[in-house]
Amino acid sequence: VSDELTPSLKAELLAEFEKDWRKDLRRAIPAKERMKTGRRPMPERPPDVRNKDFDEVNLGLDPEEAVEEARRCLDCAKPGCVAGCPVRIDIPSFIKLIEKGDFAASAAKIREANSLPAICGRVCPQETQCEETCNIRKASGVPVAIGNLERFVSDFERREGGIALPEMAPPSGRKAAVVGAGPAGLTVAGELAKHGHRVTVFEALHEAGGVLVYGIPEFRLPKSILQAEVAYLESLGVEFRLNFIVGKTATVDDLRHEGYEVVFIGTGAGLPNFMKIPGENLVGVYSANEYLTRVNLMRAYDFPRYDTPVFPGRRAAVIGGGNVAMDSVRTAKRLGAEKAVIIYRRSRTEMPARVEEVQHAEQEGIEFHFLTVPTRYIGDDHGRVRAMECLRMELGEPDASGRRRPVPVPGSEFLTEVDLVVVAIGQSPNPLLPQTTPGLSVGKWGTIDVDWETMATSLPGVFSGGDIVRGGATVILAMGDARVAAAAMDRRLKAGSAGRDETR
């Protein structure tokens, strides 16, 4: 994401900045005063209580706390935060609307740029985005809690009378297909519906949400929040066709023949990576995708009331250092593991997980083994995993990602007893759709090639975004792609058949 704001966005931000109510608020409390108050901590449930159930960990700010936190924002003339936000939310405006006490308007302000604010408020890595570039962080080290405030207003909006319906364009009579009901697909669907187009979302699984429903656990993102967003899209006229696997049930070509003039492919990175080490197919070794899908989508935590089982695991090891690894290890703890550990080949500072997730995991009794990598799994006579051999690593020279490359320490192998292993080392793009869509240009790693200005693929009228294009990124980046794609798709639909080739 570029830090440069477009001139038109700069002008919009400035126009809001110069509104009288904003000036009044700035004048009411001097900046020095604002800087004196510390950041309001996010209220959370006690670690030894929450690590035994699947209820949400964070409780959210109450209105007073939110207003207090909003006062910490200096309402800078040149807001760093907006440049750090991949979808360019007018952050100062929504925060100042909270300070003013107009929560509904604040929520609506976020929705201008972000279709899934209650979700992003919970799962965005704010510390490397808006909060990293917050000018107060630069001055004092402690940024405004932008993510917590985003969560607060969007929760307020949902609880108080629901999500306000946006202005809807008159029906265009044109049809758009969205493949995959994950963050990217849901965003495209909402945007195109607002523009008056008839949108159908095709989803392979039996619930909409993609990674938000099968991947991210209830304790971090309650399903009721996602369901509210899906219900909102339905109220805009979006149709969901669940259990429909584009590429199998019908191809992209079939959809075009059925009158869908534009198609968005947001099928995500649904192909789990394994390390290809001995014993990885032993019983008790899961991909994070399978483990989390069983627990989240299939509700295995409520087995046998729900029919899908999952191994509880007494000694659980999760391989990886990202958010998916944190979700998996905290899930294992909640399902009763006496010992739940993270095995990560680099050191703490290189971990890609959100800082809050790492802190929460530590509080909940998760052990971290850094600079460690599994080399093989050892099974019993029944083919079940019972031990894991690991190797110690040390940090060497920086690699292509700029992080110091872990190098094995010779002779440092050691054995640990495990009965549950979750491999959370990332995913690759799911090949099912590219394989069945002739003419769709795909890159070396199976990602779909796009023109980044419009998110158009090599097939006219077919657009794409999110992890199927990026290989494995974040919810917010998928949403950003989706907004770009939706704008281009809208232009194409409006141009109609005459301008088809020009608007690709």
Which residue ranges make up the site for other proteins (CB under 8 A)? 204-206, 214, 243-245, 248-250, 270-272, 274, 276, 280-284, 286-287, 289-290, 293-294, 298-299, 303-309, 382-384, 430-432
Bridge-based pairing state of the strands 271-272 and 427-428: antiparallel
Element (H, E) at 286: strand 285-287
Would you state the structure tokens that stand for residue 448, as one six-digit string? 């779909």
> For other proteins, which is the closer residue by CB, 303 or 368?
303
- CB 45 to other proteins: min, Å: 27
Tell the smallest beta-carbon distance from residue 430 to other proteins (Å). 6
Shortest separation between residue 297's beta carbon and other proteins, angstroms: 8
The residues with which 378 forms a beta bridge, in sequence order, are: 387
Task: Enter the tokens of residue 183.
Answer: 């963050």
Name the token pair of 340: 């739940």
CB distance 345 to 391 below 8 Å: no
270 vs 406, which CB is nearer to other proteins? 270
Q: To the nearest whole angstrom, how small is the minimum distance from the Cβ of residue 421 to other proteins?
A: 13
DSSP 125-182: -GGGTTTTS-HHHHHHS----HHHHHHHHHHHHHHTT-PPPPP-PPP---EEEEE--S
Residue from 143, 154, 156 nearest 69 by CA: 143
Minimum distance between the CB of residue 245 and other proteins, rounded to whole angstroms? 6
Alpha carbons 475 and 120: distance in angstroms, whole number:
7
Largest CA distance in the chain: 75
DSSP state of 416: E
Q: Which is nearer to other proteins, 244 or 368 (CB)?
A: 244
Instruction: Give me the torsion for CA of 35, 37, 42, 46, rounded to 10°.
Output: 140
Q: How far is the CB of 278 from other proteins (least distance, A)?
A: 11
Pairing of strands 271-272, 414-417: unpaired
DSSP code per residue over 75-143: --SS-HHHHH-TT---HHHHHHHHHHT-HHHHHHHHHTT-S-HHHHHHHS-GGGTTTTS-HHHHHHS--
Q: How far is the CB of 274 from other proteins (least distance, A)?
A: 7
The total number of residues written for the chain in this structure:
504
Distance of closest approach, residue 461 Cβ to other proteins, in angstroms:
21
Q: How far is the CB of 214 from other proteins (least distance, A)?
A: 8
Q: What is the token pair recorded at 444? A: 């070396």
Closest CB to other proteins among 306 and 452? Answer: 306
Read off φ and ψ for residue 17, nearest 5 degrees: -60, -35
